[in-house]
Each structure stands twice: as structure tokens, then as C-alpha cells.
Amino acid sequence: MTKSEMAFAERKLFVERWVKSPLKVASVTPSGADLCRAMAEGAGAAAGRRVIELGPGTGPITAALLHAGVAPSDLLLLELDDVFAHHLRTRHPGVTVVEGDARRIGRAAAAHGWTGCDAVVSGLPLIAMPLSAQVRIAGGAFEAMGPGGVFVQLTYGPFSPLNPALVRRLGLVGRRFRWIARNLPPASVWVYRRRTAVN
């Protein structure tokens, strides 16, 4: 399959899964290249960095992380949708793909020896999720990471995708890392880290 045939097939798969589960997939098209690159930059993606990706879908951010130098063996993907999970296993051999709920990130990280990792990158529809889910996802992500770990989240909205009260409660600081106009829809990349890692 050529690159453009693969891109077409992935867009088609994405729309099919969106039709089946519009609230979970939460977008009609995979993230564009500029947004995926910004997500990888926000995570400091490079050789030797160990990364967990939540809600990878068809894997455009996965591809950007690999392109930035992250080794396939240093990447763990946690995806709820079984068809996306199957696609990711075929598309990115060597990457660990876990079919499951991002709310169980703590369990998945421990089971696969990923505790102490460097970054958690999320394409989840976080703002549409209840606060209890955000608590488990963000809380679990920071438990899975080392002290300097970063949580990187995309959003189509103007505000912090992580609830500000939760950001304070977890002792985090967050900032908009990049705004990407050339994406459908335009999107922002937010990066959160522990307050103690900033001071």
C-alpha cells in the first residue's frame, strides 16, 4: 500500500468507528500532521524516552512519536476500541498495544513494566469525560511517570482540557504549549507537569 492509500484507508476506518461510537471517537477525522508533531514535541519525544499514548485511534500521533525517535519498544498504546487496537498492532509492529480503558492506566503501566516512564500523551476526548474519569486518567498518568514526567493533551476548546480544580489538587501546572490552526478542527496542545518539577 502506498502512503496516500494508507492515509485514505485510515481516514475511512476512522469515520467508520466514529459512526459506531461518536462520543468515544469524538472527531470525524484523525489528527493532522502539524498537531501530531506538536504533541510529540510537547512530550519531548526522542530516542530513549518511554511514552504511553492514550486513545491513539488509527495512530497518527504514534507515527509522530516514532518519527521523533521513540523506539517501538519504548511505546505503550492504550486504546478502548478493538478495531483500532487491531489496526495499531498491524501498523506498528514492536509497539505494545493494550486494548482497554484509559481509566486503568495505572494497572496497564504496572502490568507491562511501564512505571517511571517519561511522558503520557493523550488524544482522549477528555473534556467530554466526567471528572471522576479525569481523576483516574490524570492521577494514574502521574503515578505511572517519573518525577519529571509530562502529561500532554490535545483539545479543540479554548481552555485547559484538564479540570483546573483537578490540576491544583494533583499539584500540577499546565500551559498551552502550541495552538495549531492547520488542523480540522483547529486544536491546542496542553502540557502538564508536577509543580515541584517546575520550581
Ligand X SMILES: C[S@@+](CC[C@H](N)C(=O)[O-])C[C@H]1O[C@@H](n2cnc3c(N)ncnc32)[C@H](O)[C@@H]1O
The DSSP bridge partners found for residue 52 are: 76, 120
- The residue from 11, 24, 91, 112 that contacts ligand X (CB under 6 A) is 24
Confirm or reject binding of residue 10 to ligand X (CB under 6 A).
Answer: no
* 76, amino acid identity: L
- The residue from 70, 102, 145, 191 that contacts ligand X (CB under 6 A) is 102
> Binding mask 107-136 vs ligand X (x if CB under 6 A, - otherwise)?
----------------xxx-----------
Phi and psi at residue 124, in whole multiples of 5°?
A: -70, 150
Tallying the residues shown for the chain, one arrives at: 199
511517570: which residue's cell? 145
The strands making up 75-79's β-sheet, listed across from edge to edge, are: 96-99, 75-79, 51-54, 117-122, 145-155, 187-194, 172-180
Confirm or reject binding of residue 60 to ligand X (CB under 6 A).
Answer: yes
Confirm or reject binding of residue 161 to ligand X (CB under 6 A).
Answer: no
Q: Which residues bind ligand X (CB under 6 A)?
A: 24-27, 30-31, 54-57, 60-61, 78-81, 84, 101-103, 123-125
